[in-house]
Amino acid sequence: MNTEKQVPKYTPPVGRKMEMKFEINPRRLMIWGLILFLFLPSLITFLASAFGAVKELPLSTAIAEIKSGMVESVKVNGDELLLIYPKDASGQQLVGMSRKEEGSSFMEALQRAGVDESKVKIEVASQSMAKALWAAASIILPVVGVGILMMFLMRRQGGGADVFGIGKSRAKLFAKGKQSVKFSDVAGVDEAKKELEEVVDFLKNPKKYKDLGARTPKGVLLTGPSGVGKTLLARAVAGEAGAPFFSMAGSEFMEMLVGVGASRVRDLFDTAKKASPSIIFIDEIDAIGRTRGVGGGMGGHDEREQTLNQILVEMDGFTQSDNVIVVAATNRPDVLDPALVRPGRFDRRVNLDLPDIAGRKAIIDIHKKGKPFTPELRWERVAERTVGFSGADLENMLNESAILAARHGKKEIEMKDIEEAALKVEIGPEKKRLQTERERKMTAYHEAGHALVGHLLPGNDPVRRISIVSRGLALGFTLSRPKTDKYQTTQSELKDRIAMMLGGRAAEKIVYNELTAGASNDIENATRIARRMVVDFGMSDLGPVAMGQATEMNSWGFSTGDQVRVSDETQTKIDLEVRRLVDEGYLLAEKILKKNRKMLDKVVDKLMDIETLEQDEFEKLTGVPKATFEKDEKVSPS
């Protein structure tokens, strides 16, 4: 069945003549005349050779035809030899052309071939200065003409970037009623949502604020890690605001031609001003808003910095942008230029964090709509299980759980589907690898070493799952998560975390007196934590002094390498402190595992049997509760 909509043909009104007006633009006529003049000689030569008026021959063939008497006359013109043939029956005269061989002249070649000059007329054309100049001009004029043409077009467009519309803004316009996302579709970021609700209210009810002398905010900067909902919030602003919403990514301003970015900024703001009150949204603004003079170009004249300078002028320059609010999003606020983030340009800086347990529940409530779940599914447990998940992670988890349930032919999504989807989002998909019994047992001891050290040290989170099933690049994993969201970390917790990370390596050494490459990621993470304790957190014998490294740039914007802020002697002390913390963590893990060897073997035997241990089974096998700093830890709202 054809469901295409039939478009009726247009019929002009009866009694009215259809008139078509052709307007001649003198400037366009002049441009096309210039192009035709520049390329006419080359065009005539091309057409002549294409239609056979001039036939090019090898020099040997040309000499052979001259000797045979087929040629009426010969004309030597510089490096070309023209052969004039007698007219045919139709009266058309053919012309042949041959090129000169390098290192010799045509006359010498003809004499060596024994051409009888009495039988054929040979004419040598004189090379005048005018012809030499014309030959040079035929090469130079087209190049100069194209340059003049481009300059003319640039001046006509009012800037070097607007040629053929390149400098026009590529912003997407969302008119009122065209955006379906509302604030009700955004959860887990209540503080940020409140800030943007006020921005929308500014545009809807400006009189309420002007009566109190309040000024409309120039800009709102949304910051936070990836997936927390920055772009979704901006789309909700477009859906709620009764004003035009112009959306553009930071990278869309950039182009190879210098001046394009600045031209697009001007065009975007000019368009927004004409439609004011309006909102401009720039996603990933760090692509153009990086601190000037540090990398990428030569001083302050590269394309990115010209684009940034134009944004600075438009937001708070001599030309005021009344009733135009700029909303920008980035997950790299640390690299933005100070002039861009100061009050007067971005008056509000809204930080979006990973959602807490209440926020995760609200996000899950939004994304679970339209999906059938089993009635006994406990959403509180899902929210507790997903500590550290962003809004995008939660949406992806629920979508993967629905795909997994459909794959197994289920009618409803169960808790084990959600658990499997959460592991897939967090660690990676399950992989079947063919391993020997010894490799499986080594993996089991490695993961049991992590779990046991983490369980017996109070500074670590409870172990939720241990598995020797391969996921992603790992042969096994130990999953530990806090009971509630944590916002602070102590020195004791970091030390215990280092010991837990090295528990796998310690178990391998104790049981097999052998080391494997599987601990490389554990060693890297343990070393990173130890170094941050020393240089950033001041948690070492060197004291509370910031001793990190910074990458400095020279005046041309090129990196000069890692320039340490400390002396070589202090750097040596830092390395020794990092080594001491890592060694202490390893020795602590080794001590715990040697003392609890029977418990370690028991966990390994169970893992070899069922491959995956949940928290309840693991704690039952150990026979001891999870070690904590306090027996009764109470959580109070801050």
Of the listed ranges 209-223, 244-258, 333-347, the least confidently predicted one is 244-258
The model's confidence at residue 46, banded by pLDDT at 50, 70 and 90, is: low
The reply to whether 560 falls in a domain is: yes
Residue type, 350: V
CATH of the domain at 398: 1.10.8.60
Residue 56 to residues 48, 64, 82, 100, Cα–Cα distance (Å): 11, 14, 9, 12
Tell me whether residue 157 is in a domain. Answer: no
Residue 638: pLDDT band (50, 70, 90) is: very low
Task: Verify that 608 and 460 share a domain, yes or no.
Answer: yes
Q: Give which of 375, 377, 418 is closest to 397, Cα–Cα.
A: 418
Once rounded to an integer, what is the mean pLDDT over residues 205-215?
A: 83
- Confidence class for position 566, pLDDT limits 50, 70, 90: confident
- Give the span between the Cα atoms of 121 and 123, in whole angstroms: 7
Q: Is 447 a catalytic residue?
A: yes
544 pLDDT band, cuts 50/70/90, is confident
Select, from the ranges 129-138, 389-398, 424-433, the one with the highest average predicted confidence (pLDDT).
389-398
Is 384 a member of any domain? yes
Active-site option among 395, 447, 577, 590: 447
Mean pLDDT of 91-115: 56
Give pLDDT, residue 451: 93
Mean pLDDT across the stretch 432-447?
85
Distance separating alpha carbons of residues 190 and 211, to the nearest angstrom: 28
Which of 318, 351, 384 is where one domain is finished? Answer: 351
278-282, 312-316, 515-519: range with lowest mean pLDDT: 312-316
**Domain stop point among 301, 326, 351:** 351
Q: Which two tokens stand for residue 77?
A: 């013109």
- 613 and 494, same domain (yes or no): yes
Asked if residue 251 is part of any domain, the answer here is yes
Q: Are 618 and 479 in contact (CB under 8 A)?
A: no
Give the pLDDT score at 118.
55
Q: How far apart are CA 225 and CA 566, in angstroms?
A: 31
Band (pLDDT 50/70/90 cuts) for residue 165 is very low
pTM of the model: 0.65
**3-state DSSP call for residue 83?**
strand
Task: Based on the fold, state whether residues 344 and 421 are members of the same structural domain.
Answer: no
Question: What average pLDDT is seen over the chain?
Answer: 75
Q: What is the pLDDT of residue 170?
A: 54
* Total count of residues recorded for the chain: 638
Mean pLDDT in residue range 422-432:
81
b/e burial code for range 90-113 (CB count within 10 A of at least 16 → b): eeeebebbbeeeeeeebeebbeee
Query: What does the alpha-carbon distance between residue 390 and residue 392 come to, in Å, rounded to a whole number?
Result: 5
Q: Is residue 141 part of a domain?
A: no
113 vs 334, which has greater pLDDT?
334
Vertex 223: Cα angle to 554 and 483 (nearest 5) = 120
For residue 533, count other CB atoms closer than 10 A to its CB. 19
Q: Give the pLDDT score at 55.
A: 61
My answer on whether 91 and 194 are in the same domain is no
State whether 473 and 338 are in the same domain: no
Of 46-55, 154-163, 254-263, 315-324, the range with the lowest mean pLDDT is 154-163
Proportion of the chain in helix, strand, coil states, percent, rounded to 5: 50, 15, 40
pLDDT at 94: 52
**pLDDT, greater one: 605 or 546:** 605
Alpha-carbon gap, residue 54 to 391, rounded angstroms: 73
Q: Hey, what amino acid is at 332?
A: R
- What is the per-residue DSSP string for 202-236? HHH-HHHHHTTTPPPPSEEEEE-STTSSHHHHHHH
Q: Among 351, 375, 393, give the residue marking a domain's end.
A: 351
CA pair distance 122, 118, nearest whole angstrom: 9
Helices assigned H by DSSP within 544-614: 568-595, 597-610
- What pLDDT does residue 497 have? 94
Write down the pLDDT at residue 17.
43
pLDDT of residue 586: 94
Residue 493 lies in a domain: yes
Q: Is residue 138 in some structural domain? A: no
Query: pLDDT (tens digit, 9 = 90+) per residue, 462-521?
Result: 998 898 888 877 788 888 888 777 778 899 999 999 999 999 999 999 999 988 888 888
Q: What pLDDT does 331 receive?
A: 87
Q: Of the segments 44-53, 363-372, 585-594, which one has the largest average pLDDT value?
A: 585-594
Whether 97 and 44 map to the same domain: the answer is: yes
615-636 burial code (b ≥16 CB/10 A, e <16)? beebbebbeeebeeeeeeeeee
Determine the pLDDT at residue 531.
92
Look at residues 552, 543, 593 and name the one whose alpha carbon lies nearest to residue 570.
543
> Above 70 in pLDDT, residue 2?
no
When mean pLDDT is compared over 260-269, 458-467, 621-630, the highest value belongs to: 458-467
Q: Are residues 187 and 322 in the same domain?
A: yes
Q: Does residue 51 have a pLDDT over 50?
A: no
What are the start-end ranges of the E strands in 292-359?
A: 324-330, 348-351
Q: Are residues 347 and 377 in the same domain?
A: no
CA 115 to chain centre: 72
* Minimum mean pLDDT range among 98-102, 218-222, 462-466: 98-102
Query: What residues make up the domain containing 457?
Result: 437-622
Q: Write phi, then psi, for 281 (nearest 5 degrees).
A: -115, 125
| Letter string b/e over residues 509-526, b meaning 16 or more CB atoms within 10 A of that residue's CB | bbbeeeebebbeebeeeb
Give me the mean pLDDT over the 383-388 stretch.
Answer: 85
Name the domain count of the chain: 4
The mean pLDDT of 389-405, rounded to a whole number, is 91
- For residues 308 and 243, state if they share a domain: yes
Mean pLDDT of 153-170: 49
Among all chains, which residue has been given the structure tokens 């169970």? 606
> Are residue 177 and residue 314 in the same domain, yes or no?
yes
Least confident span in 73-77, 90-94, 120-124, 455-459: 90-94
Q: What is the pLDDT of residue 397?
A: 92
Same domain? For 90 and 222 the reply is no
> What is d(CA 402, CA 606) in angstroms, rounded to the nearest whole number?
31
Which percentage of the chain shows pLDDT scores above 70? 66
Which candidate, 385, 421, 377, 384, places its Cα nearest to that of 401? 421
Smallest CA-to-CA distance from 71 within 115, 5, 14 is with 115
What pLDDT does residue 13 have? Answer: 43
17 belongs to a structural domain: no
Who has greater pLDDT, 197 or 23? 197
CATH code, domain with 80? 3.30.720.210
Residue 456 has phi, psi (to 5 degrees) of -95, -5
Residues 444 and 546 in one domain: yes
Tell me the pLDDT band of 549, cut-offs 50, 70 and 90.
low
The reported pLDDT for the residue numbered 109 is 66
CATH classification at residue 299: 3.40.50.300
How far apart (Å, rounded) are the C-alpha atoms in residues 111 and 76? 14
Q: Residue 528's Cα: distance from chain center in Å?
A: 26
Contact 459, 496 (CB under 8 A): yes
Give the model's pLDDT for residue 326: 87
Residue 301 has pLDDT above 50, yes or no: no
Phi, psi of 173 (to 5 degrees): -100, 125
